[in-house]
Amino acid sequence: MIKSGIGYDVHKLVKGKRLVLGGIEVPYEYGLEGHSDADVLIHSVIDAIIGALGKGDIGLHFPDTDPQYKDINSMSLLKEVFSWMKADGYVINNIDSVIIAQRPKLSPYIPEMRKNIANVLEVYIESINIKATTTEGLGFCGRGEGIAALSIVTLIKEHKDGY
C-alpha cells in the first residue's frame, strides 16, 4: 500500500529568536516565533507524515497550548511521529519539501537539513529533497515577515518478507 500526505507550516520572523530550519540553526538577524522552536520545515514534514497516516494534523497531537511542547526541539517531535509510522508498518519512500523565504539564502544549509531528516527517519539521504525559493518580494514571505514550508511525503507499507 502506498500513501501520501501534504504538510504546510508558517511562522512569523521576529528579532531575538533563533532561526531553526531542518534541525539546524541558520545564522540570521531574525528567528521564527512559535511555541516550539518554530522549525517550519520539520513541522511541514511532520504534518505530511501525520496526514499520510490518516491521523489528523500536527496541532491535534502537539498543541501549542500544551506547556510540554514549549520551546521543544521539533526534531524530537519528528522522532515521535516516526515511531507511529513504524508501528503502523510504513517506511518513507520519499519526501519533497520547499522552504519559502525571501532571506536568508538557504542553499548552503540544505545538505545538512537533508542529512538530519534522513537520519531521524532512517532513510537514504536521496529519499529527502529540500528546495528553497523566494516570492520575488511578494506577500508576507517576500516582505520578510515570515517563512513558510510545504512538504509532500510518500509512505510504503513495509512487507514482512522485506519488500
At residue 30, the pLDDT reads: 96
**pLDDT reported for residue 160:** 67
| Contacting residues for 27 by C-beta, under 8 A, at least 6 apart | 19, 104
pLDDT recorded at residue 149: 98
Per-residue pLDDT tens digits of the chain, which is 163 residues long? 999 999 999 999 999 999 999 999 999 999 999 998 999 999 999 999 999 999 999 889 998 888 888 878 999 999 999 999 999 999 999 999 999 999 999 999 999 999 999 999 999 999 999 999 999 999 999 999 999 999 999 999 977 665 5
Q: How many CB atoms lie within 10 A of CB 6?
A: 13
Single out the residue of 127, 163, 139, 104 nearest to residue 45, CA to CA. 127
The CATH class, in words, for 2-157 is alpha beta
Tell whether pTM > 0.85: yes
Name every residue whose Cβ is closer than 8 Å to that of residue 131 and which is 6 or more positions away in sequence.
96, 97, 98, 99, 110
Residue 103 makes CB contacts below 8 A (sequence gap 6+) with: 28, 144
Instruction: DSSP letter for 81, please.
Output: H
